[in-house]
Amino acid sequence: MRILIVEDDLRIAEDVKDAVEAAGFVADIVHDGEEAWFVGGTEPYDAVILDLGLPGIDGLTILKRWRSEGHGFPVLILTARSAWQERVDGIDAGADDYLVKPFQIQELVARLRAIVRRASGHASTTIEVGPLAVDTRMMSVSVNEKPISLSPLEYRLVAYLAHNQDRVITQTELSEHLYAYDGEKDSNAVEVLIGRVRRKLGEGLIETKRGFGYLISAPAA
């Protein structure tokens, strides 16, 4: 799952990046409003953490532009402004949640997980697809209640497919959501990764729709 962090305070941005990546996400950082608007509008993100007080274009204006352009990714707003009207304005502009600085990093991560889950239609912290269970809080995966040891990249793959269960995901989409902006985006790397994860999960859980992509789906009742 790929996250965009929009924050002009370099220390806060790096602290947030470290925390969300430790929580199983991959993150990109931008520090000003102009770049945030462009990158958020052209790259596929699963969620955005957006500071309101930005140089160039303020965060509220960016959010309104994204929503008017049809970008529906969930947005968690960060701000030093604690007035209730600022919170209302952010939610009305299309934000999914709101966190006032200073904040506890654990709360930010929990809120991020929640808006990502809700965006894909999951209420529980554990996503179950047939015998597969993905605990998004503990970043753990099990099959038939047997724990499976996965690398961070392997976990991101399984988590992304589970969040998008019953939908065929192309190699291109997988590479765009598994790697950072400057990371490797190679279809052969995705194929190798899929093969490695299949060997760990067992055959049959990740289906191949030849010519289209990959799919995790619950077995028919």
Q: Which domains does the chain have, with CATH numbers?
A: 2-119 (3.40.50.2300), 126-215 (1.10.10.10)
What are the residues facing 30 on neighbouring strands?
A: 6
**Where does the chain have alpha helices with state H?**
10-22, 33-42, 59-68, 84-92, 105-119, 152-163, 171-178, 187-201
Do residues 47 and 116 touch, judged by C-beta distance below 8 A? yes
Q: Measuring CA to CA, how many Å separate 93 from each of 67, 86, 146, 202?
A: 8, 10, 44, 44
**Token pair of 42 as six digits:** 């052209």
Separation CA 221–CA 205 (nearest Å): 16
Do residues 20 and 109 touch, judged by C-beta distance below 8 A? yes
The tens place of each residue's pLDDT in the chain, 221 residues long, gives 899 999 999 999 999 999 999 999 999 999 999 999 999 999 999 999 999 989 999 999 999 999 999 999 999 999 876 667 777 888 899 999 999 888 999 999 999 999 999 998 888 899 999 999 999 999 999 999 999 999 999 999 999 999 999 999 999 999 999 987 765 566 688 899 999 999 999 878 999 998 899 999 877 55
User: 10 Å Cβ neighbour count for 36?
Assistant: 28
Separation CA 91–CA 27 (nearest Å): 23
Indicate the length of the chain as a whole number.
221
Would you state the pLDDT for residue 72?
Answer: 94
**Token pair of 64 as six digits:** 């309104």
Separation CA 85–CA 90 (nearest Å): 9
Would you state the pLDDT for residue 85?
Answer: 77
Do residues 7 and 29 touch, judged by C-beta distance below 8 A? yes
Q: What is the pTM of this model?
A: 0.88
